[in-house]
């Protein structure tokens, strides 16, 4: 079973893919190739956005959990 990559590793891989896609755009000759490059770019950018959003959700869950523990501790101290 493959290990999960960290968000930073995934971002680096996606940045490398985006660089390759940019190079493909330069050498694209016809409309099909240009369209394919646009689709690939949108997919990679969507993945990057998803990773960033997931990181925001993890932070929000951590903050919420911390708040729940604080409320619980206040209730126990009363």
Q: Looking at the predicted structure, is the pLDDT value of residue 24 above 60?
A: yes
Could you state, in order of their start, the residue ranges of all structural domains in the chain?
Answer: 8-77
Note the pLDDT tens digit of each residue in 32-74: 999 999 999 999 999 999 999 999 999 999 999 999 999 999 8
Distance, CA of 36 to CA of 29 (rounded, Å): 11
What counts of helices (H) and strands (E) characterise the chain?
Answer: 2, 0
What angle do the packed helices 31-77 and 7-27 form, to 10 degrees? 160
């Amino acid at each position: 079973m493959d290990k999960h990559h960290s968000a930073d590793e995934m971002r680096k891989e996606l940045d490398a893919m985006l660089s390759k896609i940019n190079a493909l755009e330069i050498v694209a000759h016809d409309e099909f190739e240009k369209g394919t490059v646009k689709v690939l770019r949108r997919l990679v950018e969507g993945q990057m956005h998803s990773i960033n959003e997931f990181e925001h959700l993890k932070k929000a869950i951590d903050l919420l959990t911390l708040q729940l523990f604080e409320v619980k501790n206040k209730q126990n101290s009363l």
